[in-house]
Structure formats: structure tokens, C-alpha cells
Structure 1
Amino acid sequence: MNRIRRMLGRGCCSTHRLGALCVLLALGGCNDKGEPAAAAAPVVEVTTVSLQPVREWDLFNGRLSAVDAVDLRPRVSGYVERIAFREGDEVQKGQTLFVIDPRPYREALASAQARLARARAAVRLATEQDRRGQALVKQAALSREEGDIRSATLAQGVADVNAAVAEVATAQLNLDFTQVRAPFSGRVGRAMLTLGNLAQADQSVLTRIVSQDPMYVYFDADEQSLLRYIEQTGAGRRPGVANTVRVGLANDIGTFPLTGTVDFLDNQVDPATGTIRVRAVLANPERKLTAGLFARVRLEGASETRALLIDDRAVLTDQDRKYVYVVGDNNQALRKDVTLGRQLDGRRVISSGLAAGDRVVLNGAQKIYFSGMAVEPRENPAPDRQASAASPKPQLAQ
């Protein structure tokens, strides 16, 4: 080795220098005694897996919907005289929203009331004539035929009064309908018709109202989940509050801050999609929820169990197989094929392939070139908290 260095230092010919350099590079991994230098074992981060409490959840996608929603239409025709609300505001049940010109209907009511008064006056006259006629018939001073005519006239007058009463009620109802009121409390949209426009009875849409509290969230559960729930219920493995759901909106990244309960399950599975429609109810006292919003729904599955959990970063892929590296005796990294279960907040349930107490390589697996390679493990404690496993395949509710 020293001779080669002297040759390079004396400036010998290029051919000799190149050959000496190659020999020097070839012997660089050897010590002065000619033995290979031992490579340092790579440092890897490991964590010890253990059984942890897990509560199963299924993850679905859904949409928020108002409990009550209506396109507000007038019940009488007329020109819009007044708009009595501010667009986008929350209104109360019975609050006047639109006023249709009431003058024609007010006059129609007065006319109906006049006809009623005339009919009642006619009944009073017919009553007196019938009373006198019956007395004259008893005295043989009036024919029975004439007495029957007077009785029929009285009956007709009573019928006219009843018809007039109905006309007055209808006219009063139409007059009341000129004030279009909110059928329930909720948030009102924009006014579709403005002042002076003609509103056609039962046709023109004036505005739209949607209720605010509570709110519905609709989602579609796949038939595999449905069959699993039925099986769990029959086996008594469903929790006491089986219909609890957790809901997160689009900006709730990784969290589900809202809590609700399932109150409706459709009566059949849609054969086109293989899903069944489910509905849950959410409280909305602070009006943070709006109909039409996208929602992520976690539906509570079986009761709490215990399972092995590892960080998803430790799972490696070899074509269609999943595996991890486990640090065994003599700090050797050994490959173990695993079967994955449900995903949970960046962690994965291991169905098979690992045992409690195994030390799994969490970081640094790229430094391991073969199974059995020596490593220098550094422990990273695993989080010990209750887990909620969620299904990795959500379904979208339209």
C-alpha cells in the first residue's frame, strides 16, 4: 500500500498512476492487516406493538339536508304589494313575508257579507209567513198547498243563508291569503318576485324556506356493512347506543366534532348501487350547519374490542403483499408479512402476522437491504389511547 502511494507521489507515468489508483480504491475497504472494515449498523426507529382498545366505526360520505323545506307559493292571484322580510334572514312560523294587493278580495268579502245579510232577512220573512200560514191552515182559512209553499220557501231561505255563510268564509280566507306567511321557522331565501309583479295562485314561486334546527344528514351504507350490522345485532355485539354517529364537515380535517343519532333506515337496498339510504339527526343550535354541505359520517359499529395497532408508516408493499420489519434477536431486522385491518387516524389494525411485544421498524426501513440485516434500534414509545377503527371505503350520498 505504501509503495503504491509512493508511486503516485513520485509522478510516474499515467498508465502506472491509473493502475495504482485502481488498486488503492480496491484496497480502500481493507485495514492495514488486509481485513475488510466492518460497516456500521444503520440506526432505525422502532416501536413495540401491544393490544389496545378499539371501537369500530364505518366511514361514509353524505350530505346535509333541512328537515323542512318549501317553495313558498301564493294561494290567491294578485300583484305583489309589499315584501315584508329581508332576504337571507331567519323567520318565524306565521310571520308575514309577502302582501298581495288585498283590495279586490276585501271588496269580495263585503259583497259576500251583503248577500248573507239579504239571505238572513229573507229567512226572517219566510219564518213569519210560514208561522202565519200554519195557523191559517188549522183554521181552514188557507189551503194546505199554500201552507206547504210557505214552508218550502222558509227551507230555501235557510239554505241560502248557509251558502252565504260559506261564501263569506271563502272570501275571508282569500283575503287572509293575501298575506303570505311562513309555514314554519327557518331561513328564507331571495325574493323570486319583486314589487308590482303578478303572482299566480299555486304557480308562482315567491321564495324558498328551509328549517335550521335540527338538520338531517343522509348517507348510503353498502350492503356488506348492513349485513355485518344485522349479524352483530343478532349476536349481541352492538353497543347499547347503536345508532350514534360522528359527523365532520369539509374543513374538519381528521376530526368529527358533531354528534347525532340515526333515526331512519330505508326499506330496501338500491339494486343499482348496492347501498341503502340512512338518515341521522344533528342538532344545530348555533346555525353552523347549512343544507347541502358535504359531510363525513362515522357510524358506530361493534362494541369495544382489543387489537394490535401500528403506524401506517411502518407498512411496506411488495407487489400485492404487505409486510413490516421486526427487530429480533441480535438486533437483526426480519421481514414479516402482515394482513391489514381497518385504518384509524394514521394507524392500522393488524389482523395477522404480528404479536404483542414485537418491535416494529417505524422509521429507517429504507436502510434495510435484506431480511436479517443488523440494525441499531432506537425505541419510540407507541401511543396508548382508545382507538376508533374506520372503514377505508366510504360511499357517497347524492
Structure 2
Amino acid sequence: MRKSPLFGSMLLLVLVLNGWGANAIASPDGLEAPLPWEEQLDLGFSAEEQGASPSDMGGFDCLISPDVVVEASIQVSGVLETVDVKVSDRVEEGQVLATLRSTVERAAVALARTRVAMESETKIARERLALRGRKLARGEELLKKKAISLNEVDELRSEKRLAGLEIVRAKENRELAERELDRAQETLNLRTLRSPISGLVVEKFKSAGEFVQSEPVVRLAKLDPLRVEVILPVAMLGRINLDDLAEVMPEAPVSGVYQAKVIGLDHVIDAASGTFGVRLELPNPHYALPGGLKCDIRFLGPPPPSPLGEEELSEEEFREQEPRDDDIRNGEEIPEE
């Protein structure tokens, strides 16, 4: 009897399955041996990445960026009178960067300052009050002698009260002049551009003599501290925590190893790529590192404990540990050193 090819194929499949079953039974630890396709299963990350410990988590690409980048502009429109900085200049927060032509505004400030300095109105009101007081005193003497009527004395008393109110009005006018000076000064300040951050001038858009309306005049970058951004696979989730330390190695030609601290972790995973972001802070007090560098990063884990092995006590905790007067009065003695 001739056997069909289908029968031979089925017989081969049965033999193969029996062989895999025998391998599973013959596994040394009594557990079922992994199937071939399980051995070849790839999750997308290397074994080093999946099993890395906090003390050896390196080889990730990162980017060093300025902490803040600002395009500084003036709030009002006008013609630039001065631009006091150039590219690569180091500026401090509050430093004057540029000013608009402000002839009218400066005149308004000078006028308001003159009004504040004027004291003649107050002096006149005081002299008038003194005069009304003397006239009222003479009128009351004449009233005792029946020389004038009570109605005339009432008029003198009212004139004295009005003279006192004139002093109050003079003080209110002076306060109003001070507020006018403040407004004129603020209007003048709006025409002055001051640096909102401490950093470097990385680009200059306008020069003296140009008209500006809402366009930026300069671009500033804060380089101390620097911000380091790194994208990690989701397998690293939970291995990186806030305040962990890391070693940052910038690309050539910049050399050296710099220590940074984790300040931010993404709480939303990018499902498409299976990654999440981590942000670190890198001190750069002398501007030794520029922004925009690529780098490699190696995470070191949490910072080491203090030399004494204990955290420093706050001022309130220290006071709580000090002996109280009640304890001493109750007979609790303080141990001598």
C-alpha cells in the first residue's frame, strides 16, 4: 500500500513534538524548558539595560542646554536711543540693555519732581491760619466789650476753620504731586529694557536708531546652571529618582566629567517609542561649559550620606532636643560631658 505525502508530514510533526516534550521532561531542575521562540524573544532593550543597577547605568545620550533662553523686548514702541550690550557680553539681572528716546518722558518726570518740591502753598495756608487766629482773638475781646456783634465773631471763627482746611488741601495736593511723579517715573522706566536674568547675550537683533514696536532687541541665555535632558527606555522607570546624581561627559572638543543632579522626571510615558524624559541640573558658575552640547551620561544613584552618617538637624529640631527648664526643675539632671 502506498502512503500519501500528507501522512509522512503528520508523522514527522508528531515525532518533533514528542522530542520537545522529552526535552521539557528532562530539564535538570524539573521545570519546563523554554521553547525555541521564547529563547529568541526580544523586548527591544539589551539585558544590560533591563538589569542595570543604579551604580552602573551609563551609555545614554543626552543634551546640554541653557537653563533659560529669553528674547528680551521693550514694552512700548519707539526709536532705540542706546543698545548697551553686544554678543557674548555677560549681563546681570536688572542691568540696562537698551533705552528708547525719552525726551518728553524725562521732561514730565522733571516737572513732577518740581511740583513735589514746591512748599509755597503749604506755607501760605499756615500763614493764613495764623492770621485768622489772631483776628478771632481780637474779635472775642471786642465781643466781651460789646463792641461787635456775635454774628461777626461767628464769621471770624468760620474763617479760621477754613484756613485750617486749606492746610489739609495743601498736604493732599503734595501727596497727589508725589503720585504724579511716580507715574511719570514708571512711564519713563517702560522705555528702558533691563535684563530679566543673569547670563550671556547670544544674539543682538536691533541697533541704536532703529524703530521697535514688539520685536525682541536681544536674546539672552542663562548658563548657570545648565539643563541636561536625556531620554531613557521605559525599562529604566523606577531606577531613577529625584536628587540622584549623574556624571555628564560632553562631546569633543570639550573634555572632562561633570556632576549633575536629577530635578525632574516625566510622569507620562511615550507609548510609541517606549521612553520617558529625565531632566538634570548641572552647575556652571564660571561658564566653563557652553550650551547646546551633546553628551553621554552615567547615573550614579542617590547622593552619599553625610560624613557623620546622619542628616543635619534643622534649627527647630535642634531646639526640641535642648533641655527645658521644666525638666531641670523636675529633677532631671543634664549629664556632664
TM-score, normalised to structure 1's length? 0.49
After superposition, the Cα gap between the structure-2 partners of 1:156 and 1:88, relative to the gap in structure 1 and judged at 3 Å, is: same
Give the AA of the match of 2:123.
Answer: R
Q: CA deviation at 1:269?
A: 0.5
Report what 2:293 is aligned to: 293
Residue ranges of structure 2 left out of the alignment (5+ in a row) = 1-52, 141-152, 304-337
Match of 1:217 in 2: 228
Which SS does the other structure have where 1:227 is aligned? coil
Query: Could you report, residue by residue, the CA deviation over 1:76-96 in whole angstroms, capped at 9, with x for unpaired residues?
Result: 543112222222333345544
Match of 1:270 in 2: 268
Q: Which runs of 5+ in 1 are unaligned?
A: 1-52, 234-241, 304-398
d(CA) in 2 for partners of 1:100, 1:81: 5
- In structure 2, distance between residues paired with 1:286 and 1:64: 16
**1:198 aligned onto 2:226:** no
SS in 1 for 2:247: strand
Q: Quick check: which one's helix share is greater?
A: 2
Q: Secondary structure at the match of 2:98?
A: strand
Change (3 A) 1:258 1:127: farther
CA offsets 1:216-241 (integer angstroms, 9 cap, x no match): 213345554232457xx9xxxxxxxx
Whole-angstrom distance in 2 between the partners of 1:54 and 1:114: 69
Counterpart mapping for 1:79-90 below 5 A: 79-90=79-90
What is the CA-CA distance between 1:59 and the residue it aligns to? 4.4
Q: What secondary structure is seen at the aligned counterpart in 1 of 2:203?
A: coil
- The answer for the alignment partner of 2:247 in structure 1 is 246
Q: Match of 1:121, as an amino acid? A: S
Q: CA deviation at 1:283?
A: 3.3
Q: Distance in 1 between matches of 2:54 and 2:199?
A: 40
**Amino acid across the alignment from 2:257:** L
Structure with the larger RCO, 1 or 2 (CA within 8 Å, 6+ apart) = 1
* Contact 1:80–1:100 (Cα < 8 Å) also in 2: yes
Tell me what 1:257 maps to: 256
SS in 1 for 2:224: coil
Matched residues in 2 for 1:123 and 1:68: separation? Answer: 53
Displacement of 1:199 after TM fit? 3.0
**Superposed counterparts of 1:111-190, under 5 Å:** 111-118=111-118, 120-133=119-132, 139=140, 140=153, 142-175=155-188, 178-190=191-203
8 Å Cα contact 2:260-2:283 kept in structure 1: no
For residues 111 and 123 of structure 2, what CA distance do their matches in structure 1 show? 20
Contact kept in structure 2, 1:65 and 1:216, CA below 8 Å: yes
SS at match of 1:64: strand
Tell me, in whole angstroms, the C-alpha distance in 1 between the residues paired with 2:284 and 2:234: 30
Q: SS of the counterpart of 1:126? A: helix
Q: For residues 86 and 229 of structure 1, do their structure 2 counterparts lie closer, same or farther at Cα, with a shift above 3 Å needed?
A: closer
CA 1:128–1:198: 2 relative to 1, 3 Å = farther
Match of 2:31 in 1: none
Retained in 2: the 8 A contact 1:68–1:211?
yes
Partner Cα separation in structure 1 for residue 212 and residue 258 of structure 2:
43
Contact 1:217–1:279 (CA under 8 A) maintained in structure 2: yes
Please give the TM-score of this superposition, normalised by the length of structure 2: 0.56
More strand by share: 1
